[in-house]
């Protein structure tokens, strides 16, 4: 069996695709990478929340899945839309990397808890709102681009530090720039952070689908991501909405914590639910209903009116 793997060509995307390639190789399946440029890779001068983020990093990959030019598409699970078109589906989530956000800087003495003011570059509405909430002494500047671009901007003095997912920083081997690990209890990550997802079209042969899934899917991670993604779907949150959620689990129970924060950071809602992995999606819906009932619906309306 030979699998054609579609991927974006950023260094992080290539790491992810090569990781999938290795997992397939471990099961004796050969593969090749097909590099695909997306709209999100081309537009670098506008913030993601202004472009309207729906599918901007995935559309071109999905077109090639449908036409059969590629068998699978590899994405950061975090970058996937919460609901996919009916002819596409996720068949695997890889074992999760540590999920924390980290503070990255040339100055390793920087800390968010010190109360000392400095400037952080980020374009994530979740991170901006959380910084306003937990660290009002921090100034935020908008910063887009892949990891290498952001590090260059850091070195050019646009900011003192970046707030990034540990997973990406580690995969790009920038661990020595980590000044601080942020606790997930406060800086709860984005849905899907740290896992790699495999997307296919319904035209893929069952043989290929089952083989790829068997070699790459990590069941405990899959249950956790199902819970988180059900939560995101119910809130109809794309990656530009400041929604956060993290499920952790054992074989018999998963715990899902998540919520929503307004753009000013003064209104943060968070709830926790636990249940059996078989009811992962139910947990996600339960969490969403609780957050909406506590005023999340009003916060979402206000966010949508601005973004």
Ligand X SMILES: NCc1[nH]cc(CCC(=O)O)c1CC(=O)O
Which is closer to ligand X, CB of 112 or CB of 204? 112
Euclidean distance between CA atoms 94 and 119, whole angstroms: 34
In the three-class reduction of DSSP (H, G, I as helix; E, B as strand; rest coil), residue 84 is classed as: coil
Q: Work out which of 6, 40, 55, 194 binds ligand X, going by CB under 6 A.
A: 194
Closest approach of ligand X to the CB of residue 290, in Å = 25
Which is closer to ligand X, CB of 168 or CB of 258? 168
- The terminus-to-terminus CA distance of the chain in angstroms comes to 45
Give the chain's radius of gyration (CA, Å): 19
- Token pair listed for 166: 């540990």
Alpha helices (H) in 115-244, listed in sequence order = 125-134, 147-155, 166-171, 206-216, 219-234
Q: Is 290 in the site for ligand X (CB under 6 A)?
A: no
Euclidean distance between CA atoms 17 and 76, whole angstroms: 10
Q: Work out which of 70, 165, 182, 299 binds ligand X, going by CB under 6 A.
A: 165
Query: Would you call 24 exposed, middle or buried from its count of C-beta atoms within 10 A (0-12, 13-18, 19+)?
Result: buried
Q: Work out which of 128, 129, 167, 200 binds ligand X, going by CB under 6 A.
A: 167
Which is closer to ligand X, CB of 208 or CB of 229? 229
Q: Is 199 in the site for ligand X (CB under 6 A)?
A: no
Q: Work out which of 31, 81, 82, 193 binds ligand X, going by CB under 6 A.
A: 193
- Token pair listed for 282: 């139910």
Indicate the length of the chain as a whole number.
307
Catalytic: 251?
no
Q: Is 164 in the site for ligand X (CB under 6 A)?
A: yes
Which parts of 58-77 interact with ligand X (CB under 6 A)? 76
Q: Work out which of 55, 168, 237, 249 binds ligand X, going by CB under 6 A.
A: 168
Applying CB under 6 A, the residues found at the interface with ligand X are 76, 78-79, 164-165, 167-168, 193-194
- The residues carrying an active-site annotation are 79
């Amino acid at each position: 069996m030979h699998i054609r793997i579609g991927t974006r060509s950023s260094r992080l995307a290539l790491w992810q695709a090569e990781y999938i390639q290795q997992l397939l190789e471990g099961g004796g399946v050969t593969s090749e990478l097909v590099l695909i440029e997306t709209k999100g890779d081309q537009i670098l001068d506008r913030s993601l929340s202004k472009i309207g983020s729906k599918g901007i990093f995935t559309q071109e990959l999905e077109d090639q899945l449908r036409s059969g030019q590629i068998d699978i598409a590899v994405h950061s699970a975090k970058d996937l839309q919460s609901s996919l078109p009916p002819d596409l589906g996720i068949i695997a989530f890889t074992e999760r990397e540590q999920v924390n956000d980290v503070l990255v800087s040339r100055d390793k003495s920087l800390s968010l808890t010190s109360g000392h003011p400095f400037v952080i570059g980020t374009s994530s509405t979740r991170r901006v709102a959380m910084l306003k909430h937990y660290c009002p002494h921090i100034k935020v500047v908008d910063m887009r681009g892949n990891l290498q671009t952001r590090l260059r901007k850091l070195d050019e003095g646009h900011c003192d530090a970046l707030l990034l997912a540990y997973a990406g920083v580690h995969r790009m081997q920038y661990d020595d720039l980590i000044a601080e690990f942020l606790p997930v209890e406060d800086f709860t990550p984005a849905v899907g952070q740290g896992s790699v997802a495999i997307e296919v079209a319904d035209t893929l042969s069952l043989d290929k689908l089952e083989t790829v899934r068997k070699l790459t899917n990590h069941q405990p991670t899959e249950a956790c991501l199902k819970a988180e993604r059900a939560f995101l779907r119910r809130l109809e949150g794309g990656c530009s909405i400041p929604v956060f959620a993290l499920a952790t689990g054992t074989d018999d129970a998963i715990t899902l914590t998540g919520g929503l924060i307004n753009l000013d950071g003064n209104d943060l809602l968070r709830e926790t639910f636990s249940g059996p992995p078989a009811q992962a999606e139910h947990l996600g819906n339960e969490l969403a209903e609780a957050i909406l009932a506590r005023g999340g619906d009003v916060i979402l309306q206000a966010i949508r009116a601005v973004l």
